[in-house]
A and B are shown apart, each in its own frame.
Chain A
């Protein structure tokens, strides 16, 4: 185990299919046309000295170190900017080149501090490496002249006006201008890789400096702290604070980020079992070497003092917690669940799998419920996010997942983003999308709010359809109306891949004048001409793709909207090749995987309905029990049943339903009505306020397993440190099973994956050995697709013929009125993740310390609300208070907030209305009133007191 050193080829890979052969230092090299001489040399194993070139950004040619000589050409061109050509004869090392390079390095070093021994980049400094590479032995110019190095002039103590102090404003990295060589790699990384354009070079010549924004500090600039600049920096100018504190890492392990559904691959760079830094892995197929602030920097929660490391029990939720041994905890859970089932029936208990845990762990939780509890009362957080995706795409296409890989975006010509704000929720995908948009692809955004995705530097949506919350189905059906009535549909595709008579029925339905944009404008608020323009743009684009998020699913018609989206893609033939498709942006790291693993109460792993005898028998044979053929309770149904008295015990792994689920008061009433609530988590989360047993969880750094991202990509999670709580999460579930006298004896998660592969046709060929070999794989991965499936439905749909389904718009019952005249919609912010349990325990709070309410200036003025005022936010479900910010990002009549902080509890406001098909809650539409307030509501004060009371712990020693 050593440090994984990825080869830096200097310039990006050329994608041409034409090969070119040239000679470098006497060796013949064959590379794709468009490759730089520098990269071709590196492919041949010859490392041309370089400073301003790195393969994450385009060639720039400024450092003049990578000079070469080419036979028959004048001068000494830079190898990074010189493309290869057939028959070129290149020399990288001649007397002339050696002299020139030494001269260049001499100048660089004459304006650079010589504190190498105490420098944070010591051991990882390209400037130092290059000084060595060119054989620099002397700096003839001395160090006394003009410089950027020292605060005072060398002679007398006058201030050196060229010197700039270190900028330590960013919590994760420092900017030390005295060490900067102005190679502009950071500036280019910010532009080309991240797409934020927060950095620039100010001044000219010797005055040139890297500057965040208009000579601001990093924190007050537009910087989103993705860290691409830090990764690009060849010196200690931009350095992770963790490296400054700890020192250079000595070994690294490739693993997968545990934040959003993009599923970025990282190298966890370690010193012993201390994590030094996370560096995105270039070969990671989801992220291609990029990251966001959460994945790269926000891992401090893993060692946060709030982590609970010992199991705990209490009789009543009003008691303080009592620390116990693991064995006591397992025995207690087993006996309680047995008692409850014998008293109240087999269906009186259930479990919730975690979309933050691994596939293997979610598989075990559903197995415990089905095999051990003998019912199907298992659900997962996808219930409240993408369950309509599963249902809608299952009905239309035949699979419950996105159709593409993320690389597909590089081939798209028109992207529609619906009800998603990738810049905040899926930042690495957003960067990849923006890169494509800067190359000329067009963007259509359908969102009530003017999100960061609508307009960013050098990117602007061709159309932003700012619809009224809750009118998705009307808008998308209207898009289909335009495509059908204007004859823009792809008849050949539909005839070949879909059921033609179903299409005819659907076409007749959408062609009705009631679905025309002119008719829907009245209630959607989307101008008819903009909607027609957007429909034409999407239908006429060569490759049209649709990306969508929870703004689609979290509605009473969420499933209908997903079907409408699928209809749109089939209508225009945008399925089955790179650059197109229907792409749900999944929220949590493993929400796709948890769905795949049979976490829903109606289906077994691989989306096989529980009523199917064949699928049930597969598991019955293996597990040696009879499985219940009836669907189980979904999370909201469990809570209803609890309030009604027939559901009494629940095992919740890594999920904070009290904070994340709607209508908090209903959730707490349900939890309070249960006799045994078991919570397994890193922290005493909000749900744990109502728990009787707390089982400490482990982080993604502490266990082996796999996550499946939004592209259906199964990525390895690798253990880099021992679980601080003693057990990985899969071992905890196994502990409960064993205490219930179920015969489980897994010794490694790979054995669980083997069981999944043996029972689930779409995973048939998946194994840890295959993942080791291929890096990652996208399901289906079986005999038909031995290396996985990057793009689905290539030769026809999984269900056979694509199915067009009528999508009638039915307005939600959640309506504004005199008492609640505004519509509240919710979302997320870049720096925080989900309920914030992890990110609130990191320095990310500097960007977002509390949830705020966005309100339009018109609505604010009517109510006498000023910027930063406390406001009371009330719906028919409840009320809370938070601070307001006044912005025209939201339309008049619409207010918006995030749900990252338990102090705000935005879900006290949201109602129990839900999607007709899946009971996915209608988070995105709540009728509310906003009024001035003095501070937190009574409910918030009481809840805060309850939280404090329910977090009292009596240590084991004290109890004895």
Chain B
């Protein structure tokens, strides 16, 4: 089963919600620090699958994402497909 089949609207809604929560915390920071903070947090704590779902939203126009998150997305690490699919060494 591929990930795409399961990726209906609800997982994306949850990802958007979680990203916006992070964005909301960093909103009270100076702007640049806030952008960097959101990106660093997501890079440090989000597994590639979650980041991929985030980029699916970003790439399709970023509907629902807070402006701070959208701005941070340029600094968030984009996961590669191999990372998820490689069998164990």
Contact = CB atoms under 8 A, between A and B. Distances in A.
Given A373-B88, A556-B21, A806-B29, A631 B47 contact: yes
Contact of B87 (A345, A630, A914): A345
A611 B45 CA distance: 10
Contact of B22 (A341, A808, A917): A917
B47 A633 contact: yes
B25 A808 contact: yes
B18 A919 contact: yes
A504 to B, nearest CB: 13
Nearest to A342: B87
Interface residues of chain B: helix, strand, loop or mixed (majority): helix
Interface residues of A, number: 41
Interface string A290-315: 00000000000000000000000000
Contacts of A601: 47
Contact of A602 (B7, B44, B83, B84): B44
Interface in B42-89: 43-50, 79, 83-89
Contacts of B29: 806
Contacts of B3: 644-646
Contacts of B45: 602, 631, 634, 917-918
A391 to B, nearest CB: 9
A609 interface: yes
B70 to A, nearest CB: 17
Interface residues of B, number: 33
Interface stretch (A442-450, A635-643, A765-773): A635-643
B24 interface: yes
Contacts of A643: 6, 11
Contact of A810 (B7, B24, B43, B86): B24
B44 A916 contact: no
A641 B25 contact: no
Interface centre among A376, A509, A637 (most CB of B within 10 A): A637
A917 B19 CA distance: 10
A509 B28 contact: yes
B14 interface: yes
Nearest to B47: A633
B16 to A, nearest CB: 12
B46 A631 contact: yes
Contact of B14 (A345, A640, A646): A640
A667 to B, nearest CB: 15
Contact of A637 (B1, B28, B43, B47): B47
B87 A346 contact: yes
B46 A646 contact: no
Nearest to B88: A374
B7 A808 contact: no
Given A347-B49, A631-B45, A637-B50, A644 B7 contact: yes
Contacts of A633: 47, 49-50
A630 B47 contact: yes
Interface string B21-47: 110110111000000000001011111
Given A346-B85, A346-B86, A346-B87, A916 B25 contact: yes
Interface of B: 1-3, 5-7, 11, 14, 18, 21-22, 24-25, 27-29, 41, 43-50, 79, 83-89
Given A346-B87, A646-B84, A917-B45, 4 more contacts: A346-B88, A640-B14, A917-B41, A919-B18
20 contacts: A341-B88, A346-B87, A347-B47, A373-B88, A374-B88, A509-B28, A560-B25, A611-B44, A625-B89, A630-B47, A631-B46, A634-B47, A637-B47, A644-B11, A645-B3, A645-B6, A646-B84, A916-B25, A917-B41, A918-B45
